[in-house]
Structure 1
């Protein structure tokens, strides 16, 4: 009788282990599909993409995000909030205030051309999931370099997958997608802005979304990655009058 009980227990443990194993195959059992287009996905996820959805509209990219297939590395609202900032924080409004310029009160004061230009730094042709990108090891890039890609803004970024260490064995652990902005195409190995992805392979009816991890960004915690570019463009373009109703 005891042998029968032990046998049944062992079988249950084995079956339970098999079920758990399924979660480690091809991204697991979590359903990545969203029943709506990319813009509807951003609008539905008010935290953390409500402001990003507004910027899509301000940039005149509603049709693109609703109908076209592309890969979007989505920054979150905290990046926008930090970028605009206040006169007391290290953001755009601090820069404008101490430059003797009006500060930003509503997002529509910034030119649609600027919103479009910088939003497109996160947009890439094709529908690419984590499995479609090469391995990158930031410590030995000569061996595992990731891959170079042109964004829709025309800049070059490196996109690659890191393979974590598990049980002291390299590259057998979890995999994480990374988007790295390269500020100078003539020096593709210098001054990288590394952005890790928190959730990959989200699949609306068009394209694919990879959500960036705001709290795990090296140098790129500003909208468009390089804050000096964004601040300068806003400074020289000027601001439209704010809408008091907003």
Structure 2
């Protein structure tokens, strides 16, 4: 009787293991590397980056995104859509033709604001220092020069867990500093939703949907656009 019970138990365990194997498969170590360059990655995710990829090409930065070593804090298409809506409102008020396609924006304007998201080298989350927005004097992140030498602050935010500071998950932030004479004031900050997407020529960090305006400063973008139009560019 005991032998029969042991046999039955082993049979149930065996059946359960086989059943479980149908649902749980060892997929091995996940590869974070995208098989292609940074522009190819943007093209591969059109739901988020269709307009961003267009801006890369319209700004004349295609070679950089395919050949240079680049860290790109990628805004989503939503930021471009919101920017164009604000731009068209102001253009209409000022008596100018509104933007019908992204190509209506001069390349020099796209390039200036796109380059705020671009940095030389291939830097991952681990390469950036800690930032605490409530204690900037202690954990200030670090200022970096973007591709067009705009000063941007980048830092890793260490979250709390169960009331213990800085032991939770980390996320990246990138901030535009409007006035360098007041380096800790009035930052315009965007947070990263997906880090360390490795491409053949760099790293992509995707900004979250709450980064609502491409270029960080819609007023400056609009003013630059109008100035170019007034100059006949």
Q: TM-score, normalised by structure 2?
A: 0.85
One of 201, 225, 232 as aligned partner of 2:196: 201
Structure with max Cα Rg: 2
One of 225, 228, 231 as aligned partner of 2:216: 225
**What are the equivalent positions in structure 2 for 1:27-42 lying under 5 Å apart?**
30-42=30-42
Q: Which runs of 5+ in 1 are unaligned?
A: 10-28, 86-90, 240-246
Q: Distance in 1 between matches of 2:30 and 2:187?
A: 32
Q: Distance in 2 between matches of 1:105 and 1:96?
A: 12
Q: Which residue does the alignment assign to 2:16?
A: none
Report the alpha carbon displacement of residue 199 of structure 1 after superposing the two structures with TM.
0.3
1:30 and 1:174, CA in 2 relative to 1: closer, same or farther beyond 3 A? Answer: farther
Q: Which residue does the alignment assign to 1:242?
A: none
How big is each residue's C-alpha offset from its partner over 1:217-238, in whole Å with a ceiling of 9 and x where there is no partner?
4xxx211101111000111112
Q: Which residue does the alignment assign to 1:94?
A: 89
Q: Distance in 2 between matches of 1:32 and 1:237?
A: 41
SS in structure 2 opposite 1:230? helix
Q: Distance in 2 between matches of 1:157 and 1:121?
A: 8
SS in structure 2 opposite 1:234? helix
Cα RMSD over matched residues?
2.1
How big is each residue's C-alpha offset from its partner over 1:76-125, in whole Å with a ceiling of 9 and x where there is no partner?
0000000001xxxxx10001111111100011111111111110010011
Q: Distance in 1 between matches of 2:203 and 2:76?
A: 16
Q: TM-score, normalised by structure 1?
A: 0.81
How big is each residue's C-alpha offset from its partner over 1:161-190, in whole Å with a ceiling of 9 and x where there is no partner?
111111110100000000011111222111
Report the alpha carbon displacement of residue 31 of structure 1 after superposing the two structures with TM.
2.6
The answer to whether the 8 Å contact 1:199/1:212 transfers is yes
**What are the equivalent positions in structure 2 for 1:6-155 lying under 5 Å apart?**
30-85=30-85, 91-155=86-150
The answer to whether the 8 Å contact 1:130/1:161 transfers is yes
SS in structure 1 opposite 2:135? coil
Q: Which residue does the alignment assign to 1:23?
A: none
After TM superposition, which residue ranges in structure 1, 4 or more long, deviate above 3 angstroms? none
SS in structure 2 opposite 1:52? helix
Q: Distance in 1 between matches of 2:197 and 2:183?
A: 29
Report the alpha carbon displacement of residue 30 of structure 1 after superposing the two structures with TM.
4.1
Q: Distance in 2 between matches of 1:60 and 1:79?
A: 20
Q: Are 2:173 and 1:182 aligned?
A: no
Q: Distance in 2 between matches of 1:116 and 1:76?
A: 16
Q: Distance in 2 between matches of 1:172 and 1:121?
A: 30
**Residue-pair matches, total:** 208
The answer to whether the 8 Å contact 1:155/1:185 transfers is no
The answer to whether the 8 Å contact 1:148/1:156 transfers is yes
